Chains A and B, each alone.
Chain A
């Protein structure tokens, strides 16, 4: 066994595994791809990590939904093992071009979408947005997310949040063009390690975010929320998700929802909010406050929710699987419930589920909507 394999085994505590199979049993990809996290953990004990395991195509099928780690009875994190394998590939330079481009863009432009840094704040044009100044006190520092900034399909999420913040008289500030990718997907694509891009971006972002006198950082995307909360050890401010803030505003009566939305709504738990951070109640509370709406639940919800395959770098990788995509399973389930709105609280979920909805041709009877998108129509200007 080479030393690289040995230190790999130690780093991820692979000897602690009892081979119970809970990780693979719960893995949403296991049934539709060759991914078997338990086997990876097992094979790494005898095999040759850099030369054999890291080249398995299925390591790119992991969506980083975290089910495996949440279920493991021995405290292992198979998802991190897979990212460790991706890292070996990244370091050796053998990469799919799309992945390489995303990483390069993150390095150069501070976003994985190959968009210019200077246009990051363009979505704000024409809006009455308060921008925070370094050194100044601000209660809520808003962290937007690359995808929301640049993808016109989901910009409405941030725009509606501005509307809500202004309406409720919240002390807040956006960062503007200086905002840089939280690096969550950089981590998931395996650009980690001592000299890794991930560590570098965390350091730069920490410096930037700490330059504000913020009480808390409000992340709009669950992916940024999870990264800032769990992977940035040196942030001064607390990190919350926007659903925490909006729930607070509703509870304190600072925000009123007016009008009616007499629709059947089902909520899909984003993995980075639910399975990664146990935030289940806040989005449900917000939806429950929508006048006229009927809220239904998926059979597989909360801890048993099904991943939509939006995370884990899946935006930049292709899978060979011929099986139905999980987002398609999800919209089918939503339709079977008679839901008219499939509500989510994450920009990636919007993208994957909306694609699936179109692929299935369900546009007539149902739509996918981010919670903030829904709230937009229920707030009087």
Chain B
């Protein structure tokens, strides 16, 4: 059918949004005289039910086979009108929209000129509508499983929600245990819940959930495929301990020749561990791991007269011959929950973090005040004879945040509150200590935060408005040079302990995931969400979602909320079981494609690959588009020098006439 185009044009008033500036009557009258236009009408709200009914009636009664709606941006209602067409049995891609609101009435004042422009826009839409072709959407099945990368609170929460909904989860955690930063914290603001008490039950659930396969001490090595059908390779690093035999008794660690000689990552360097270790007592899985970079046996092939760990292990779990294992899985969705790193305080040398042992970061203080920490929760600095309990304690806020000089312009969102929390804990443990917080602004924006800040001040924590400029030692005191800005007075404050409220930064290995998943970064270098307001857990890659601090600094409540959001987005995909693949995607004319691979480079979604085909007896390379990955952005066709890659609905022969009407090239 459809041989001869019969076009209906519908000019929308959008209340007065359009009609105020554009003479809609004149535009529809103009349209009615354009070639191939069968009917042209104007109506107050085309998107309303009666508006859509107009179109449906005309398709039925007038035999229309193309529709042009002149209204708002296609981002608003293209889908609405496509459905309208589909309801009558007409292929929905026989629709063309002319944007006479955002592109015309909203940006112009002169009614006459705006009307002329609207006519042109309608004319060009009609020019293209004549050349439209029917398109068909495809569907692919969704693999009912999810990969969660990162086992912090974000990854744990997302994994549990998806698993509880009945779908399989592969949870990949880089370090020997799940838990992330939250496991390092003592109490949590503003409620002062014990961090371990609320986190460890979830860690245990993750390990025992029948739908979760926990791949700890593992890293994702390769991801291919597309939404609904990702193929993943995970490297399970050798622990050199047979997890099936290890009982977690810890005798090996006590016996290790290097016991107490390796800085413990978990204790942020405030305590030491052995070469064979459990990061912390409640680690999940509770299996020991040998650090291959430190262990004498693994680095030098020799550990004294023989590995003491092996001799000590009654279960015979030590296995120096263990190899990395590659685990392959298929998933329909991926959640990235890789978290953050704390700002490296050495990048602000004026604070002397590298020079003075009693200038520490907040994370280090978390370990000091924690009952499971190296001092059993006592705030003691220095070792042996030098050990002392600080009397004068100062916190410095915004270290590495809101600071152009270190390239971090953003606010880290949690430091103000964790400072208040830690100040409170210091006061609680050392009631005689004088505690002050140097700040430039206090941001207590969350539920219960301002109340907590009030409480901490009333407990006697002094807030001094001024961000310190430098720290140096005078005798055995640290001197903080600052200005009390409320008094306009420069001061030198002598203290025993300085705690730097270090900000949150993208992980230093963030590139790894970017390269695996082609994620983008926002200006702050965190992973970029698809839309800051309306798609905060999505990414530009379909089927890949973000949760937690990998997307930006967040406290635990926000992290958990976002993780639940990411889980629900993944579940939408998994439970529908199918994904639609866009119709307006690119295709290659293999007869003219020169196989230069230029489009392969250009495509931001990695949708194109070069394949070898037999072209009349010659084996040649040509581009091929993976329809599931193509987003129809058109970048490839704009770049192709031979015009061999074209995007459906936007082919050269469709859009050039459209442009010509607007005064462009013929």
Q: Which residues of A contact B (CB under 8 A)?
A: 18-27, 30-31, 36, 38-39, 67, 70-75, 299-300, 302-304
B469 & A23 in contact (Cβ 8 Å cutoff): yes
CB distance from B74 to the nearest CB of A (A): 39
Verify if B349 is at the interface (C-beta below 8 Å from A).
Answer: yes
Residue contact A21 to B466, C-beta cutoff 8 Å: yes
By the criterion CB–CB under 8 Å, are B473 and A74 in contact? Answer: no
Residue contact B349 to A304, C-beta cutoff 8 Å: yes
Report A-chain residues with C-beta under 8 Å of the C-beta of B404. Answer: 72-75
Chain B contacts of A300 at CB under 8 A? 470, 472
Q: Is the CB of B466 within 8 A of A20?
A: yes
A-B contact pairs, 8 of them (CB 8 A): A19-B485, A20-B485, A22-B469, A25-B470, A25-B482, A26-B470, A74-B404, A302-B349
Residues of B277-325 contacting chain A, CB below 8 A = none
Known contacts A18-B441, A21-B483, A36-B488; is-contact A71 B469 (Cβ 8 Å):
yes
Q: Chain A's nearest CB lies how many Å from the CB of B569? A: 36
Which residue of A has the minimal Cβ distance to B356? Answer: A299
Contact A299 B474 (CB under 8 A): yes
**Which residues of A sit under 8 angstroms from B492, Cβ to Cβ?**
31
Tell me, in angstroms, the Cα distance from A20 to B484 when the chains sit together.
Answer: 9
Q: A71-B469, A304-B472 are in contact. Are A25 and B481 (CB under 8 A)?
A: yes
1/0 contact string of B463-506 vs chain A (CB within 8 Å): 00111111111100000011111001011100000000000000
Pairs A-B, 8 closest by C-beta atoms:
A26-B469, A25-B469, A21-B483, A21-B466, A73-B403, A24-B483, A30-B490, A20-B467
Give the tally of cross-chain contacts (CB within 8 A): 86
Interface size class of B (residues with CB under 8 A): 20 to 34
Would you call A71 and B402 a contact (CB within 8 A)?
Answer: no
CB distance from B125 to the nearest CB of A (A): 45
* CB neighbours of B398 from chain A (8 A): 20, 73
User: Chain B residues in contact with chain A, CB under 8 A?
Assistant: 349-350, 352, 398, 402-405, 440-441, 465-474, 481-485, 488, 490-492
B352 contacts across to A, CB distance below 8 A: 304
**Contact yes or no, A38 B483, CB < 8 A:** yes
Q: When the two chains form their complex, are residues B350 and A304 in contact, meaning their CB atoms are under 8 A apart?
A: yes
Name which residue of chain B comes closest to A70, CB basis: B405
| Distance of A25 Cα from B481 Cα, bound (Å) | 5
With A22-B469, A73-B404 given, is the CB distance from A27 to B440 under 8 Å? no
Residue of B nearest to A300 (CB): B472
A21, A23, A26, A67 pick with most chain B CB within 10 angstroms: A21
A contact residues around B474 at 8 Å (CB): 299
**Are A71 and B481 neighbours in the complex by a CB distance under 8 Å?**
no
Whether B469 lies near A67 (C-beta < 8 A) is yes
Interface centre among B404, B405, B490, B491 (most CB of A within 10 A): B490
- Give Cα A26–Cα B404 distance, bound, in whole angstroms: 17
B465 neighbours in A (Cβ, 8 Å): 21
Inter-subunit contact B405/A303 (CB<8 Å): no
Using A21-B466, A21-B482 as known contacts, say yes or no to A71 and B350 having CB atoms under 8 A apart: yes
Do A19 and B440 touch across chains, with their CB atoms under 8 A apart?
Answer: yes
Give the distance to chain B from A322, nearest Cβ to Cβ, in Å. Answer: 16
Q: Give every chain B residue within 8 A of A73 (Cβ-Cβ).
A: 398, 402-405, 467
CA distance A160 to B440 in the complex (A): 49
A36 touches B402 (CB 8 A): no
What's the Cα separation between A72 and B403 when bound, in Å?
8
* A21 and B467 form a contact (CB under 8 A): yes
Q: Are B350 and A26 in contact (CB under 8 A)?
A: yes
Neighbouring A residues of B349 by C-beta, 8 Å:
302-304
Check B485 against A21 for contact (C-beta < 8 Å): yes
A72 touches B405 (CB 8 A): yes
* Set A18, A21, A75: member contacting B405, Cβ < 8 A: A75
Residue of B nearest to A68 (CB): B469
In angstroms, Cα B466 to Cα A38, docked, is 11
Chain B residue nearest to A306 (CB atoms) is: B472
In the bound complex, what is the Cα–Cα distance between A75 and B408 (angstroms)?
A: 12
A36 to B485 Cα, complex, angstroms: 10
Q: Contact check: which of A19, A30, A304 meets B470 at CB < 8 Å?
A: A304
Q: Can you name the residue of chain B whose Cβ is closest to the Cβ of A280?
A: B349
In the complex, residue of chain B having the shortest beta-carbon distance to the beta carbon of A73: B403
Chain B positions within 8 Å of A27 at CB level: 469, 490
Which listed residue (A25, A31, A72) contacts B466, Cβ 8 A? Answer: A25
CB pair B485–A38 under 8 Å, yes or no, is: yes
Q: How far is the CA of A23 from the CA of B471 in the complex (A)?
A: 14
Partner of B490, one of A19, A24, A72, A75: A24
